[in-house]
Amino acid sequence: MVDLPLASAFTVFDDQDSGCLSYGVEDAGRRWFVKKATSVQARLSLVRAAHFHTAVQHPAIIRPARVLDRPDGPVLVYPWHDGTVLNQATRHDSNRAALARFQQLPLPEVEAAVTTILDAHVAVTAAGYVALDLYDGCFLYDFDSRRLWLVDLDEYRPGPFTLDADRLPGSRR
């Protein structure tokens, strides 16, 4: 798992408002989610994400299997998990069809997913981190297995912290 080229991707997410290019590839019979920066700000986010995943462990938080140091910034390689993010936000649009489907699930299944989110954030807090840019696009839900995963936690930071910008990441959504 050293070379996971975009040319071999089975899916590409190239219209992300994060400034990252992400794609799914298969290598040696395993599927991977590869995330790389396309801007300076995105590079900083991926560096933060790598530190976050080193500090925080929870079964529902998908951690990178590898962090590749490249001249143009880190490349995070995550194990692929089946499912759909509840809000597929892009630079120009947002697809919330999965969220609408999720909202129609029986209440016990929704409660189990919310419990997973809260339990994961107990681990986040215990590790000294603060949630930033947490929204429905961070929730990957597998409707077949009825399991929720947390993804795209790149902006989480050790807390307390001083904001070094005019607004919080993602606050324009």
For residue 159 the two structure tokens come to 């807390």
Classify residue 17: in a domain, yes or no: yes
Q: Give the CATH number, domain containing residue 136.
A: 1.10.510.10
- The ranges of the chain with pLDDT < 50 are 173
Considering its fold, how many domains does the chain have in total? 1
Q: What would the two tokens of residue 28 be? A: 């040696």
Residue 163 lies inside a defined structural domain of this protein:
no
* Residue 43 covered by a domain: yes
pTM of this structure: 0.90
Q: Is residue 61 part of a domain?
A: yes
Q: Which residues contact 137 (CB under 8 A, 6 or more apart)?
A: 85, 86, 87, 88, 89, 152
What does the pLDDT look like over 42-84, one tens digit per residue?
999 999 999 999 999 999 999 999 999 999 899 999 999 999 9
Residue range of the domain that includes 34? 6-158
- pLDDT confidence of residue 166: 79
Does residue 169 lie within any of the structural domains? no
Does a structural domain hold residue 166?
no
Evaluate whether residue 58 is within a structural domain. yes
Give a yes or no: residue 102 inside a domain. Answer: yes
Task: Name residue, tokens 């509840």.
Answer: 86
